[in-house]
Amino acid sequence: MDRIRAARRVIDPVCLATPLFRSGGLEQGLGCAVSVKLETANPVRSFKARGAEVVASGLAEHGRRALVCASAGNLGQALAWSGRARGIDVTVVASRSAPAAKLERIRALGAGLEVVDGDFEAARERAAALALSDGVRLVEDSLDIETCEGAATIGLELVDAAVPFDAVLIALGGGALATGVGHVVKTLVPAVEVICVQPLGAPAMTRSWRRRSVVTTDSTDTIADGVAGRYPIPAVLDDLLLVADDAVLVEEASIVAGMRMLLDAAGLVVEPSAALGVAAILEDRDRFAGRHVVTIVCGSNVDPDAYRRWVGAVPAPGT
């Protein structure tokens, strides 16, 4: 907790104190009280900004001038932004299949970008090899504790808010967001339910959590590119087992319905991973009825064409 509180002091304020607000439109559609924690209103449009700030400020403090990371797209943007501000050379390795919008922004922020065939796990392998050969610090999302501490500052802000809540829905990918926020919530307001949400098409961490040991998958099949890993990190799973009350899997159709609802009811264009929380409510309304649920809208970097394909015209026909 001390390290998480300290993280707040090194993160650029523009990435802190993000809005947390009740959405009447969502509540009408979902049958429960819903507060949105909006992590998209910062220069890199995702919660990864927080962890990247902690990573980059730590490196700068020690006079390190370069880093390499694998990224599904959001961490790369965040590190590119945080590194640029501190004179750190950032190299990002990403899958060729990552959203073009994310890859373009990484380049636009001045980072080196290496695109690899294969998925996110292939990018992780390549980044590790590159770090080794170049003698440069490898930043491993979710494993490197700074990435979790950065995300955990979201938890502090939720707990600091005046209004109590009953559950928090957290997109589950590598686990930095879930373990970070979960740790703070379970430490300070343990009665609040910590529920992780992952797509059925990328269920490795959820299955691992259920079995209490690492389960890998051969492939992923989801539009939620930000959480589509196949190899859970054992140390992160250990942390997740300590703080998550539940981990649920949701259908692709629910993710799309969640994106559409966030657009129509709250005016938010979000990437698929950011709609996982709403998707979880849509799939299990009874569980949440009458409760006050926080959902973390964690990113809005989405290819416009893909968004149109998934969500349709604005608004959804018939609304």
Residues in contact with a copy of itself by the rule CB under 8 A: 13-14, 17-24, 28, 36, 38, 40-43, 45, 105, 108-109, 162, 263-264, 267-270, 300, 302, 304-305, 307-308, 311-315, 319
Alpha-carbon distances of 153 from 193, 215, 279, rounded to whole Å: 18, 29, 24
Taken as a whole, the chain contains a residue count of: 319
Q: 32 near 290, Cβ under 8 Å?
A: yes
For the CB of residue 307, give the shortest distance to a copy of itself in the complex, in Å: 6
Nearer to a copy of itself, 108 or 132 (CB): 108
For the CB of residue 27, give the shortest distance to a copy of itself in the complex, in Å: 10
Give bridge partners of residue 90 from the DSSP assignment: 67
Nearer to a copy of itself, 206 or 300 (CB): 300
Phi-psi region of 73 (alpha: psi -120 to 50; beta: other; left: phi over 0): left
For the CB of residue 32, give the shortest distance to a copy of itself in the complex, in Å: 15
Nearer to a copy of itself, 105 or 126 (CB): 105
For the CB of residue 299, give the shortest distance to a copy of itself in the complex, in Å: 10
CA distance 46 to 273: 11
Alpha-carbon distances of 65 from 76, 128, 132, rounded to whole Å: 16, 17, 15
Nearer to a copy of itself, 140 or 271 (CB): 271
- Strand positions, DSSP E, 88-192: 89-95, 112-116, 137-139, 167-171
For the CB of residue 19, give the shortest distance to a copy of itself in the complex, in Å: 4
Nearer to a copy of itself, 33 or 167 (CB): 33
